[in-house]
């Protein structure tokens, strides 16, 4: 990036950073039914921004956004930021009590909401001005997105990179959602870094199955808009063959997913039998993909550059990656820090650990956010002196490659010994009949805590799987780590981002 570009990025908002000087005729979003150009994005975002300002929205006010990936979503997201307001993206599947809490803590007075969600939650949204993508008789007071007036606004807000751009809500340790405060500068810094190491250009077309409300999904939006590329939006991942067909038809150069996406493609689709001559890169993040599946993915896509990555919402999106040329020899690693980020592994005294010794992963960089919305104590615990204490434990090797052991909270204590759920899950997935595995702890009179394993077969009609899993465990695990229970499921419970909901598994059979 040139000095001139860096000077510009230091003083612009995210929408200007992403959309300024783009060719208005180029396609930005490829939907199932039609394409949307950069010109349409610019116009629709400006309409949203001017409408909000004309209605008296002030800089820093919060605006809710709930909807599927669409022009409606992107225009509302960028237009809200352009107005100087703070966008609060939420999943369509958000629980009623979580929606109530977020409405209360953000004090949002405006919401861009997809109509079916608005109908289902109309009682909760009574005090909020709604803008919907289509007219709904049950919501007579809602404003129709397509009929927003393109009003002119004389005074536009001055936006600094330190200003808040979005609140990205995640699950908190107390059970309440936790809003990560993401600034314009955080997004700009992380976007520049990801674009650099992926080598993205305007000729890229990313197959987009991740929801935009999820920080991994928003990072796809940010990075590809930044270079003038296209996002091929595909909402039908429950039919993986359709995704593969569209990737070929659209000549996608990229694909991004969380572990469950790759497990499904490898176990439930014809990925291994197809060739993708245009597929230049694959991004995997959003959780740990077991080494056995990384190897299978390398075999299925031998000419594609595979980027295994690591990040957290608290770091805007991304913290580290494994260079594709190092993937085979560093399998299981999350790699090294991305450009502009420093990663250290620190012990309980705050000192760097030696190679092979476990420490907490601590991050520093312009992408590290400012903490949690209205949670000063938790912010002070996780964000200290400009650093993010991730809560992830890991080791580092002699070359500086980091290996995550587990979340600090995702350990079991079996017979007095701390055991990583992640490492147990990796071992289970070495059994060739399994597609997915998740481990939780259950009370045990002798061990204190015992292993409960939830497994998903590659073959949905695999009879006698439980017994074969137990035999595999007997051969490959010490006695105290043998599962007390093995539960065979057709799929693991996941949130809208594809992450396994372990709290649901812990409540299973309770």
Q: Is residue 291 in a domain?
A: yes
One domain for residues 113 and 140 = yes
205 or 413, greater pLDDT: 205
Which uninterrupted H or E stretch holds 178?
strand 177-183
- Which long-range contacts link 75-78 to residues 24+ away (Cβ below 8 Å)? 75/41, 75/44, 75/45, 75/47, 75/48, 75/145, 76/48, 76/112, 76/131, 76/145, 77/212, 77/218, 77/221, 78/14, 78/15, 78/18, 78/19, 78/41, 78/45, 78/48
In this structure, the answer to whether residues 273 and 365 fall within a common structural domain is: yes
Section 258-267 average pLDDT: 93
pLDDT recorded at residue 172: 59
Q: Do 432 and 400 have their domain in common?
A: no
Provide the pairing of β-strand 341-346 with 383-384: unpaired
Question: How many other C-beta atoms are found inside a 10 Å radius of the C-beta of residue 34?
Answer: 8
Contacts of 224 (CB under 8 A, 6+ apart): 200, 204, 206, 230, 231
Q: Is residue 278 pLDDT above 80, yes or no?
A: yes
Q: Are 128 and 135 in contact (CB under 8 A)?
A: no
Residue 177 covered by a domain: no
Residue in 24, 82, 72 with CA at minimum distance from that of residue 51: 82
- Of 34-38, 245-249, 465-469, give the lowest mean pLDDT range: 465-469
* CATH number assigned to the domain comprising residue 135: 3.40.50.980
Residue 4 pLDDT:
38
User: What's the pTM?
Assistant: 0.88
Please give the average per-residue pLDDT across 101-111, as a whole number.
97
pLDDT tens digits, 442-478: 887 777 788 999 999 988 777 899 999 999 999 988 8
The kind and range of the H/E element at 284 are strand 281-284
- Provide mean pLDDT across the span 400-416: 80
146 belongs to a structural domain: yes
Alpha carbons 30 and 18: distance in angstroms, whole number: 17
pLDDT over threshold 80, residue 233: yes
DSSP bridge partners of 389 = 362
Neighbour count for residue 383 (Cβ, 10 Å): 18
**86 falls within a domain:** yes
Average pLDDT, the chain: 91
The C-alpha R_g of the chain, in whole angstroms, comes to 23
Q: Are residues 70 and 24 in the same domain?
A: yes
Domain total in the chain: 3
Q: Is 320 in the same domain as 377?
A: yes
Examine residue 209 and state whether it is found in any structural domain, yes or no. yes
- Among residues of the chain, what percentage have pLDDT more than 70? 95
Do 190 and 145 fall within a single domain?
A: no
Taking the C-alpha atoms of residue 71 and residue 78, their distance in angstroms, rounded to an integer, is 11
What pLDDT is stored for residue 274 in this prediction?
96
CA distance to 124, 158, 178, 380, per residue, from 102 (Å)? 11, 27, 9, 21
Any domain includes 15: yes
End residue of a domain, out of 110, 145, 172: 172
Domain boundary among 367, 390, 407: 407
- Cα separation, 172 vs 175, whole angstroms: 5
What is the pLDDT, as a whole number, of residue 2?
Answer: 40
Which structure tokens are listed for 338?
Answer: 């991305």
Structural domain including 367 reads 183-407
SS3 121: coil
Among the listed residues 506, 317, 311, the one whose alpha carbon sits nearest the alpha carbon of residue 409: 506
CATH code of residue 400: 3.40.50.12780
**Six-digit token pair at 165?**
């751009």
Does one domain contain both 397 and 420?
Answer: no
Please identify, among 376, 407, 438, the residue that sits at the C-terminal boundary of a domain.
407
Burial class (CB in 10 A: 0-12, 13-18, 19+), 32: exposed
Which runs of E-coded beta strand occur in 57-153? 62-66, 86-90, 110-113, 129-132, 143-144
Same domain for 418 and 400: no
Q: Looking at the structure, do residues 343 and 475 belong to the same domain, yes or no?
A: no
What's the mean pLDDT in 67-74? 98
Look-up of token digits 């299973």: 508
Same domain, yes or no: 143 and 187: no
CA-based nearest residue to 233, from 407, 88, 35? 35
Residue 1: pLDDT band (50, 70, 90) is: very low
CATH of the domain at 450: 3.30.300.30
Report pLDDT for 225: 98
Interval 324-353 mean pLDDT: 96
> Is the same domain home to 433 and 387?
no
276 and 375 assigned to the same domain = yes
Residue 189, domain member (yes or no): yes
Task: Compute CA 70 distance to the chain's CA centroid, rounded to the nearest angstrom.
Answer: 17
- Identify whether 178 is part of a domain: no
């Amino acid at each position: 990036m040139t000095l001139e570009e860096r000077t510009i990025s230091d003083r612009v908002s995210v929408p200007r950073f992403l959309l300024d000087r783009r060719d208005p005729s180029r396609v930005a979003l490829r939907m199932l039914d039609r394409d949307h150009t950069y010109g349409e994005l610019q116009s629709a975002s400006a309409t949203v921004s001017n409408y909000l300002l004309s209605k008296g929205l002030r800089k820093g006010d919060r605006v809710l956004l709930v909807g599927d990936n669409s022009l409606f979503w992107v225009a509302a997201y960028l237009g809200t930021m352009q107005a100087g307001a703070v966008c609060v993206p939420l999943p369509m599947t958000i629980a009623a009590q979580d929606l109530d809490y977020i409405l209360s803590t953000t004090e949002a007075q405006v919401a861009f909401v997809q109509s079916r969600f608005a109908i289902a939650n109309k009682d909760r949204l009574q005090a909020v001005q709604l803008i919907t993508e289509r007219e709904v008789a049950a919501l007579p007071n809602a404003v129709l997105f397509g009929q927003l007036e393109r009003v002119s606004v004389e005074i536009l807000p001055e936006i600094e990179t330190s200003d808040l751009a979005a609140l990205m809500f995640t699950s908190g340790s107390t059970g309440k959602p936790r809003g990560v405060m993401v600034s314009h500068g955080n997004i700009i810094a992380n976007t520049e870094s990801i674009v650099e190491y992926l080598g993205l250009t305007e000729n890229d077309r990313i197959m987009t199955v991740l929801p935009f409300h999820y920080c991994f999904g928003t990072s796809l939006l940010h990075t590809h808009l930044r270079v003038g590329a296209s996002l091929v939006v595909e909402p039908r991942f429950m039919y993986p063959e359709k995704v593969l067909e569209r990737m070929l038809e659209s000549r996608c150069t990229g694909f991004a997913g969380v572990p469950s996406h790759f497990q499904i493609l490898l176990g439930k689709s014809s990925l291994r039998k197809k060739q993708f001559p245009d597929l230049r890169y694959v991004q995997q993040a959003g959780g740990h993909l077991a080494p056995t599946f990384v190897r299978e993915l390398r075999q299925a896509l031998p000419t594609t550059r595979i980027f295994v990555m690591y990040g957290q919402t608290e770091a805007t999106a991304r913290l580290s990656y494994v260079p594709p040329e190092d993937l085979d020899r560093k399998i299981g690693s999350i790699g090294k820090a991305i450009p502009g980020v420093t990663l250290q592994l620190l012990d309980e005294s705050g000192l760097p650990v030696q190679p092979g010794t476990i420490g907490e992963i601590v991050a520093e960089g312009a992408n590290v956010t400012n903490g949690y919305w209205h949670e000063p104590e938790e912010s002070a615990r996780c964000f200290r002196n400009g650093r993010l204490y991730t809560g992830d434990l890991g080791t580092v090797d002699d070359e500086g490659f980091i290996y995550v052991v587990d979340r600090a909270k995702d350990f079991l204590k079996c017979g007095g010994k701390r055991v990583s759920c992640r490492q147990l899950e990796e071992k289970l997935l070495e059994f060739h009949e399994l597609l997915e595995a998740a481990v939780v702890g259950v009370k045990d009179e002798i061990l204190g805590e015992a292993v409960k394993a939830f497994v998903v077969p590659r073959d949905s009609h695999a009879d006698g799987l439980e017994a074969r899993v137990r035999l595999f465990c007997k051969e490959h695990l010490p006695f105290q780590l043998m599962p007390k229970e093995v539960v065979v499921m057709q799929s693991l419970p996941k949130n809208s981002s594809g992450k396994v909901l372990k709290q649901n598994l812990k409540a299973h059979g309770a």
